[in-house]
Amino acid sequence: MSRAFLIVMDSVGIGGARDAERFFNDGRPDTGANTLGHIAEACAAGRAEEGRTGPLRLPVLDRLGFGAAAELASGTRPAGLDAAPQGLWGAANEVSKGKDTPSGHWELAGVPVPWEWHYFPSVTNSFPPDLVAAVARAAGTEGILGNCHAPGTAIIERLGAEHLRTGWPICYTSADSVFQIAAHEESFGLARLLKLCEDVAPILHGMRVGRVIARPFVGAPGAFTRTPNRRDFAIAPPAPTLLDWATRAGRTTHAIGKIGDIFSHRGVSHLHKGKSDADLMDHLIRLATEAEEGSLTFANFVEFDSLYGHRRDISGYARALEWFDARAGEFLARLGHGDLAIFTADHGNDPSWTGTDHTRERVPVLGWGYGARAVGQVGYVDVAASVAAHLGLGAEGPGRSFIE
């Protein structure tokens, strides 16, 4: 019996989305966005020299077919990624009407989103009065702070002192279908913040808002920092996913990072969390040795997106990719005969692009365990069908396996 490892490099898109013109950043369509391609271009031109230097170096992933997949997706080979593929490689297209975490992950797990997400388009006074009142009641306060679009670190810096003075939660959103609540772990209380998010999540989910996110922080004015105790309260997938298929067949599933939250902890046997992607990689490498026969390990590495994509930090994104590539080599060296590992992404987040939102892009599909194999243009749902086929599970979604 074989094992499968599905690894999401959060936001590592490769350009070329056929419907990119329908998605926007600050009024600019995502046409031409290419996370990997533009990072590689900046590195080759000497414009990504903070904490690293020279062309982008990803020898492990490139040998699997990273450069070839990017060329298939966008028509352009990323600078420096010119290896002949030795693994399974292709590019995946999304059909869900979103460029966010739940849409991408659910579809990779076999379930496209059947509805339109609800967004809060107004940059200020973003939330309707009845929602503001409901959150304040649940918090036991006279009101809320924020009520706007904002980057998380910036709004904590701006409103943290007032939050400490009033005790009111800081509520904000973005271009994503999300409602975020920031509060001080000590003065407001972490347990109280999590309970608040849990209590208001059904209201937001009823509106088709994808996630309510707890954003705890600590410190004093001028020195506030977010803690690793973030928690996402996501709307449940509308149908059984790859994780459900596996657990119903009696298989063990391991969820690394945000996977448990993204899937409302459905179909998860064991959860592996950490304070950083480095911690999560340690879990993945350990499970390469310890995961049970017939098991599914599903991992998300979020820092490409959260620390570098949204902050439009090209050097930081390049550093993270090079770090990940080296550790991926350690992981692959521990896999055995019959194992499958697939590296992919959920959307793009081009750090060279306008605005701070995700970008609509195709994503890579890079596989270890089936030799050199070009699978061409596939769907996100085909990833789930292929993993299911490898594990001998009955796929229930619309995807078609590319390994059979």
| Domain CATH code at residue 226 | 3.30.70.1250
Predicted confidence (pLDDT) at residue 177 exceeds the cutoff of 90: yes
Which residues does 295 contact at the CB level (< 8 Å), separation at least 6? 3, 4, 246, 251, 252, 253, 254
Known binding residue 310? Answer is yes
pLDDT at site 9: 98
Q: Is residue 270 part of a domain?
A: yes
Task: Tell whether 246 and 387 lie within a shared domain.
Answer: yes
Report residue 28's pLDDT band, with 50, 70 and 90 as the boundaries: very high
3-state helix, strand, coil in the chain (%, to 5): 35, 20, 45
Q: What percent of the chain has pLDDT over 70?
A: 100
* Cβ atoms within 10 Å, residue 138: 17
Task: Tell whether 277 and 196 lie within a shared domain.
Answer: no
Q: Where are the alpha helices (DSSP H) in 125-248?
A: 129-139, 152-166, 190-206, 242-248
Q: How far apart are CA 101 and CA 233, in angstroms?
A: 12
49, amino acid identity: E
Residues 247-261 have a mean pLDDT of 97
Task: Tell whether 274 and 387 lie within a shared domain.
Answer: yes
Report residue 395's pLDDT band, with 50, 70 and 90 as the boundaries: confident
Q: Is residue 248 part of a domain?
A: yes
Task: Tell whether 286 and 174 lie within a shared domain.
Answer: no
φ, ψ for residue 402, nearest 5 deg: -105, 10
Known binding residue 62? Answer is no
Contact yes or no for 268/251 (Cβ under 8 A)? no
Task: Tell whether 23 and 155 lie within a shared domain.
Answer: no
CA-based angle 117:119:123, to the nearest 5? 165
What pLDDT, in 10s, does the model give residues 74-120?
999 999 999 999 999 999 999 999 999 999 999 999 999 999 999 99
Known binding residue 350? Answer is no
Task: Tell whether 282 and 192 lie within a shared domain.
Answer: no
* Residue-averaged pLDDT of the chain: 96
pLDDT at site 399: 96
Q: Three-state SS for 190?
A: helix
φ, ψ for residue 296, nearest 5 deg: -115, 125
Determine if residue 189 is left, alpha or beta; phi over 0 gives left, psi from -120 to 50 gives alpha, anything else beta. Answer: left
Q: Which of 71, 50, 7 is nearest to 377 (CA)?
A: 71
**Could you tell me the CATH number of the domain that includes residue 361?**
3.40.720.10
What pLDDT, in 10s, does the model give residues 33-64?
999 999 999 999 999 999 999 999 999 999 99
Contact yes or no for 309/349 (Cβ under 8 A)? yes
pLDDT at site 170: 98
Q: What percent of the chain has pLDDT over 90?
A: 96
pLDDT at site 287: 98
Task: Tell whether 98 and 60 lie within a shared domain.
Answer: yes
Q: Which of 264, 366, 373, 270 is nearest to 325 (CA)?
A: 366
pLDDT at site 397: 85
Predicted confidence (pLDDT) at residue 1 exceeds the cutoff of 90: no
* Residue reference for tokens 């350690």: 330
pLDDT at site 175: 82
Known binding residue 358? Answer is yes
Q: How distant, in Å, are the alpha carbons of 69, 170, 283, 302 from that of 216?
A: 38, 10, 24, 17
Q: How distant, in Å, are the alpha carbons of 41, 230, 348, 360 from that of 352?
A: 10, 27, 11, 14
Task: Tell whether 227 and 306 lie within a shared domain.
Answer: no
Report residue 303's pLDDT band, with 50, 70 and 90 as the boundaries: very high
Report residue 222's pLDDT band, with 50, 70 and 90 as the boundaries: very high
Q: How far apart are CA 207 and CA 201, in angstroms?
A: 10
Cα dihedral sign, 236-237-243-244 = positive
Contact yes or no for 307/287 (Cβ under 8 A)? no
Report the run of H or E that residue 174 belongs to, with start and end: none
pLDDT at site 195: 98
Q: Note down the domain range covering 178.
A: 129-234
Q: Is residue 124 part of a domain?
A: no
Residues 377-401 have a mean pLDDT of 95
Predicted confidence (pLDDT) at residue 400 exceeds the cutoff of 90: yes
Known binding residue 254? Answer is no
Predicted confidence (pLDDT) at residue 346 exceeds the cutoff of 70: yes
Q: Is residue 305 part of a domain?
A: yes
CA-based angle 281:300:28, to the nearest 5? 130
In the chain, the number of structural domains is 2
Predicted confidence (pLDDT) at residue 295 exceeds the cutoff of 90: yes
Report residue 176's pLDDT band, with 50, 70 and 90 as the boundaries: confident
Q: How distant, in Å, are the alpha carbons of 237, 299, 353 from that of 295?
A: 21, 13, 39
Q: Is residue 404 part of a domain?
A: no
Task: Tell whether 220 and 247 lie within a shared domain.
Answer: no
φ, ψ for residue 105, nearest 5 deg: -70, -45
Contact yes or no for 264/234 (Cβ under 8 A)? yes
230, amino acid identity: R
Which residues does 87 contact at the CB level (< 8 Å), separation at least 6? 63, 64, 65, 366, 367, 368, 370, 371, 372, 373
Q: Is residue 402 part of a domain?
A: no
Chain-centre distance for alpha carbon 126: 24
pLDDT at site 404: 87
Task: Tell whether 89 and 22 lie within a shared domain.
Answer: yes
Q: How far apart are CA 103 and CA 346, in angstroms?
A: 8
Q: Is residue 323 part of a domain?
A: yes
339, amino acid identity: D
Name the domain boundary from 187, 209, 234: 234
Tokens of 227: 């803690």
pLDDT at site 100: 92
Name the domain boundary from 201, 234, 267: 234
What pLDDT, in 10s, does the model give residues 4-23?
999 999 999 999 999 999 99
Name the domain boundary from 234, 263, 287: 234
Cα-Cα-Cα-Cα dihedral of 128, 133, 139, 144, to 10°?
A: 60
